[in-house]
Structure 1
Amino acid sequence: MAVDNSAILAELDSDQLAVVKAITGPVCVIAGAGTGKTRVITNRIAYAINAGVTDPTKVLALTFTAKAAGEMRARLRALGISNASARTFHSAALKQLLYFWPYAFGGQFPSLLTTKSGFISQAITRAEVAIPAQVNALREIASEIEWAKVLEISPENYQQEAIANNRLVRLPNSKGESENLSMIAQVYEAYESLKKQERTLDFEDVLLLTVGMLEEDRGVRERVQDQYRYFTVDEYQDVSPLQQRLLNLWLGSRQEICVVGDAAQTIYSFAGATSNFLLNFQNRFPNAQVFRLSRGYRSTPEIINTANAILRAANLVSDHGSELQSANAHGEKPAVNGFNSTQDEISYVVGEVVKSISLGVDSSQIAVLARTNAQLDQVKSALNNARIPSQIRSGERFFDRTDVRDVMRIIRSASVLPSEGGDWYADLVAVLRPFGDADYVVAFLRLAKSIQENGGKNMRAFLREIEDRSEQNNPPTLPGVTLATLHAAKGLEWNHLFLIGVSEGVLPMGNDLNEERRLFYVGITRAKERIQITYAGKPSVFLAQFN
């Protein structure tokens, strides 16, 4: 049962309150970085359920990462809503495809690829093209295949469309852009042939097949539309045309939809995302209520003023909503430091990390952000030499680790036992003591403490949380300094931030200067208290406003 409305509406500012009370759609919320949008949209869902506007089982909240979906589910549970669906687009589509597969397609469901690298490596061999099967090359080809598939571009049409869209592809031993695109087209064709041969789907296939199933089968479409009747879409600026097509099928002719986004944080255009659906929402729904959240609760005024300056420098403010205003106390001005070499730059950053930790800063509240994974590998090596634990945010599936699965089995067994002295967290500490201070133990205990402090009554509540996270591949926060690309940092925040490599040729990288500037903006707005920006060689054009 949902909590009382007074708890749902407590501690909201006037703009947030207006959104929460707008419980019938269509609704569009332009929400700047750190303005509390996740809390607002989950409270809106709870308020609508309390008002009888929707049943919780009819709710589908959509976002783009398992972490964000997990946070939404946790917030809804804290508001007494345990049976509303909060999922990524891919997860929601996969659930429907699995359920209806025997009826719509027949036979056993194909296997699902969690990573494309192995199949792409085989496809390179099959296509007989001169591309070394190196990690960076495989990643580049995977990105191109994903871009093509979300825009429904076939292997035959890939090269022509890639040229028309100014795709910039970096391959080892490159002989020119035209040859690169030609080779990728051949690998793409071989990759699709190999998947068909092995009866395997990738995540783009999941979206394509779900769209096809709903468009072709009226009975399935009507059953799905009856199941979900109240939609919320977070990070709406990141929707691709294929995802919008799927959303249209889920929504049907109804208008019970709330979209939340910030065009200033559109950083996935290279992958087919577009902010046009957000910016043109009122054209589709002329009666839509539009709200703006611009009061920032994450960062200091100094950090927010810097972020605003980045948008103003490219005249992005008018098209991307209002400038942010900080609700926090003043802090340090963002620092910019230049170095003669990348080695000197990384040595400085590692030294600053060591100094911060020695002064008592929790390493999990420190992050180093960079434009590329190759930069992070160098930082990781330097931190290892300094004996500073760190974690690179990547596609590694935390819950597939043998040690994690083993400890979860032990927690599952312990959760059925009565608590000694009524303190289930103390019992969990005792259960995990034989595993020492391994990273997963520290992460689980931190998560458990948070759950206990937020009303979790027993170890079963903690077990439900980690099993839910396992299903959604949403790991808890691991100890150590976080290393992440600017793209992987989206939606996250840290007290102390180092943004490295803000140099010409690195950031910006590629042809789309505004997209790169938005990426820089996203990096800046991940910082809560302190940010240091560094570069090696020639400073980026983005640093001009720091002079």
Structure 2
Amino acid sequence: MERMQEDLLSGSPYDGPHGSPWADPGAATGPDAVLAGLDPEQRAVATALHGPVCVLAGAGTGKTRAITHRIAYGVRSGVYHPQQVLAVTFTARAAGEMRGRLRQLGADGVQARTFHAAALRQLQYFWPRAVGGPVPQLLERKVQLVAEAAGRCGLRVQRTELRDLTAEIEWAKVTQTAPEDYPAAVAKSGREVPRDPAETAQVYRVYEETKSRRGTIDFEDVLLLTAAILEDRPDIADQVRSQYRHFTVDEYQDVSPLQQRLLDQWTGPDGGASLCVVGDASQTIYSFTGATPDYLLNFRGRHPGATVVKLVRDYRSTPQVVHLANGLLAQARGEAARHRLELVSQREAGPEPVYTEYEDEPTEAETTARRIKELLAAGVRASEIAVLFRTNGQSEVYEQALADLGVPYQLKGAERFFERPEVRDAGVLLRGAARAASDPLTDGAPDLA
């Protein structure tokens, strides 16, 4: 959240790029040098400068390389003016990486941002003119306000339930579902919900009322309000569209209806002529938040005559791993499965993957830790061993298993479980309680304050 806030709340609406450097040999020479080192499909993406363009890119196929080289080739060949290019993606980290690559490719001035960051900058810039007065304060954490709304509704909500309730409100907002329509929308979608839809709708309504009364907005409101201003004010929409004329959308399979609504306003009625989208329906991971691969799958239907390029050369994994992944995806069903990409590894052969089922997660973690200790004892470097898990919340059981065996580890992308403030505080309390319980002189319950 802090990274997102820093990206959202700094700078002017049209400031220049910044990010980590990413060296490229073509940065100091002519435009054709940008194409050096690209495979045939990546080159086809880079040279398709006029939209609509749809890039179907499997995992590890160099999609970021392809789209950054496309933007850089367009800028350095004079087809694109850098200040008229907007590239949007889903995380501040991905946007920063894209800015760094574009800068090293000689495409200074191109904007690469998250949907929320780009929308907030425009909202801050146009709010005084479109609405008047200061921009409403942005909520850093909506969960606290959701808890207050639940309390006003007379509901007792546990901490884990509160997170689920907040997620439901976010789903409703990105799918553009009003509180009164939430129960029907849930029934129609067939999604599993954490509590009675009528109760959730009530909390959602009170949350929105409280937020409005206090003059605050949440991250979903940033997208909604920006889209609404562009819809209601043609003069402002024209100004935005004259500023940005070329759009690239990364991870397009994870676009939500609300984000697509904003994108449609950015591009305008003829936006397909300057739009490039990149994605893979098999990599959709945010459907639980309201995202849908339908916009990617139906792109050619919405934009007849679109250029479609498939990136299938996998540079990340061995043939054995790619073969296993292809086999798993082949068993999937549905619209996304019909459009799956058959990847081809570009790496040398490696060992066959081994997979084992366990009764529960602690057993899996303990067995994994023992295997890691055996590998280290056999001389395998620790830097060549990794444990991958889906969410940060799963790290605890693996950290405990490794710690029990005295195996040192590094946690990437999150704070170690036992170093998190709330966990340290709980440990202090538990140790104090244990000492008090073992002290025969203790009279009554320990003081845990």
Counterpart CA distance in 1 for 2:131 and 2:66 is 40
Q: Distance in 2 between matches of 1:88 and 1:365?
A: 32
Alignment of 1:351-366 (within 5 A): 351-355=370-374, 359=379, 361=381, 363=383, 366=386
Stretch deviating more after TM superposition (221-230 or 185-194):
185-194
The equivalent residue for 2:18 is: none
Q: What pairs with 1:17-56 in structure 2 (closer than 5 Å)?
A: 17-56=43-82
Query: What is the rounded CA distance, in whole Å, between the counterparts of 2:217 and 2:403 in structure 1?
Result: 37
Contact 2:282 2:337 in 1 (8 A): no
Q: 1:38 to 1:92 in 2, by over 3 A?
A: same
Paired residue secondary structure (2:355): strand
1:494-544 C-alpha deviation (Å, 9 max, x unpaired): xxxxxxxxxxxxxxxxxxxxxxxxxxxxxxxxxxxxxxxxxxxxxxxxxxx
Query: 2:105 aligns to what?
Result: 79
Judged with a 3 Å threshold, the aligned counterparts in structure 2 of structure 1 residues 318 and 125 are, in CA distance, closer, same or farther, namely closer
- Post-superposition offset of 1:45: 0.4
1:139 aligns with 2:163: yes
The one-character-per-residue Cα deviations of 1:393-441 (angstroms, maximum 9, x if unpaired) are: 4699xxxx9xxxxxxxxxxxxxxxxxxxxxxxxxxxxxxxxxxxxxxxx
- The 1:259–1:102 alpha-carbon spacing in structure 2 relative to 1, beyond 3 Å, is same
> CA–CA distance in 2 between the matches of 1:368 and 1:390?
12
Asked whether 1:333 is paired with 2:352, we answer: yes
For the pair 1:164 / 2:188, whether they are aligned, the reply is yes
Matches within 5 A, 1:190-269: 190-252=206-268, 253-254=270-271, 255-269=273-287
1:111 is matched with 137
Distance 1:332 1:244 in 2: 42
CA contact (8 A) 2:251 2:280 kept: yes
Equivalent residue, structure 2, for 1:487: none
Deviation at 1:213, TM superposition (A): 0.5
How far does the alpha carbon of each residue in 1:265-285 deviate from its partner, in whole angstroms, 9 at most, with x for none? 122222111112111111222
Please, which runs of 5 or more residues in structure 2 have no aligned partner?
1-26, 422-449
* Pick aligned residue for 2:176 from 128, 152, 174: 152
Question: Which position in structure 1 is the counterpart of 2:15?
Answer: none
For residues 384 and 108 of structure 1, do their structure 2 counterparts lie closer, same or farther at Cα, with a shift above 3 Å needed?
Answer: farther
Other-structure match for 2:389: 369
Cross-structure match for 1:537: none
238 and 318 in structure 1: CA distance in 2 versus 1, 3 angstrom threshold: closer
Aligned to 1:286: 304
Describe the shift of the 1:128–1:320 C-alpha distance in structure 2 as closer, same or farther (beyond 3 A).
Answer: same
The equivalences for 1:518-537 within 5 A come to none
CA-to-partner distance for each residue in 1:14-55, whole Å, 9 max, x for gaps? 111111111111111111111000000000001011121110
Q: What is the rounded CA distance, in whole Å, between the counterparts of 2:396 and 2:206 in structure 1?
A: 31
Q: Secondary structure at the match of 1:338?
A: coil
Deviations 1:355-402 (Å, cap 9, x if unpaired)?
5566454559724214x5553332233345446344374699xxxx9x
Asked whether the 8 Å contact 1:2–1:50 carries over to 2, the reply is no
- Whole-Å separation in 1 of the counterparts to 2:361 and 2:242: 56
**Which letter maps to 2:386?**
I
CA displacement at 1:307 relative to structure 2: 0.6
Written as runs of structure 1 = structure 2, the 5 A alignment for 1:493-532 is none
1:65 CA displacement: 1.2
Q: Distance in 1 between matches of 2:127 and 2:374?
A: 56
Q: Distance in 2 between matches of 1:67 and 1:3?
A: 28
CA distance in 2, matches of 1:377, 1:184: 30
Which residue, out of 350, 366, 374, partners 1:347? 366
CA deviations over 1:153-207 (Å, ceiling 9, x no partner): 111211221122122123xxxxxxxx53222222212221221233221110000
Distance 1:184 1:394, change over 3 A: farther
Paired amino acid for 2:307: Q
Q: 1:197 to 1:355 in 2, by over 3 A?
A: farther
With the length of structure 2 as denominator, give the TM-score of the two structures.
Answer: 0.80
Give the 3-state SS of the residue equivalent to 1:153 in structure 2: coil
Given that residues 86 and 111 in structure 2 are in contact (C-alpha distance below 8 angstroms), is that contact kept between their aligned partners in structure 1?
Answer: yes
Q: Kindly, what percent of the aligned residue pairs are identical?
A: 46
Matched, 1:12 2:38: yes
Matches within 5 A, 1:357-436: 359=379, 361=381, 363=383, 366-370=386-390, 374-385=393-404, 386=406, 388-391=408-411, 393=413
Contact 1:29/1:292, CA 8 A, preserved across alignment: yes
CA displacement 1:248-273 (0-9 Å, x = unmatched)? 11111241111111111122222111
Are 2:202 and 1:186 aligned? Answer: yes
Contact 1:31 1:293 (8 Å CA) reproduced: yes
Which secondary structure does the structure 1 equivalent of 2:156 belong to? coil
Partners in 2 of 1:392 and 1:123 — Cα distance?
35
Displacement of 1:351: 2.9
Aligned partners of 1:106, 1:361: CA distance in 2, in Å? Answer: 61
Change (3 A) 1:228 1:34: same
Task: Verify the 8 A CA contact 1:302 1:334 in the aligned structure 2.
Answer: yes
> What is the alpha-carbon distance in structure 2 between the residues aligned to residue 116 and residue 361 of structure 1?
43
- Total equivalences in the alignment: 386
Q: Give unpaired runs (5+ residues) of structure 1.
A: 171-178, 402-547
Equivalent residues in 2 for 1:421-500 (5 A)?
none
Following the alignment from structure 2 to structure 1, what is the Cα–Cα distance between the partners of residues 381 and 233?
Answer: 56
1:435-487 C-alpha deviation (Å, 9 max, x unpaired): xxxxxxxxxxxxxxxxxxxxxxxxxxxxxxxxxxxxxxxxxxxxxxxxxxxxx
* Structure 1 pair 129–373 and aligned structure 2 pair: CA distance change class (3 A): farther
Q: What residue is the counterpart of 1:323 in the other structure?
A: 342
What is the CA RMSD across the aligned residues, in angstroms? 2.4
Counterpart among 293, 305, 323 of residue 275 in structure 1: 293
**Structure 2 residue identity aligned to 1:193:** E
Query: In the alignment, residue 137 of structure 1 is paired with which amino acid?
Result: E
- Indicate conservation of the 8 Å contact 1:383/1:390, yes or no: no
Normalized against structure 1, the TM-score is what?
0.66
Whole-angstrom distance in 1 between the partners of 2:230 and 2:182? 26
The structure with the larger Rg is 2
**Which among 84, 87, 99 is matched to residue 61 of structure 1?**
87
Q: Distance in 2 between matches of 1:47 and 1:101?
A: 35
Q: 1:311 — aligned with what?
A: 329
Report if the CA contact (8 A) 1:3-1:79 is conserved.
no
* Alpha carbons 2:76, 2:107 under 8 Å: kept: no
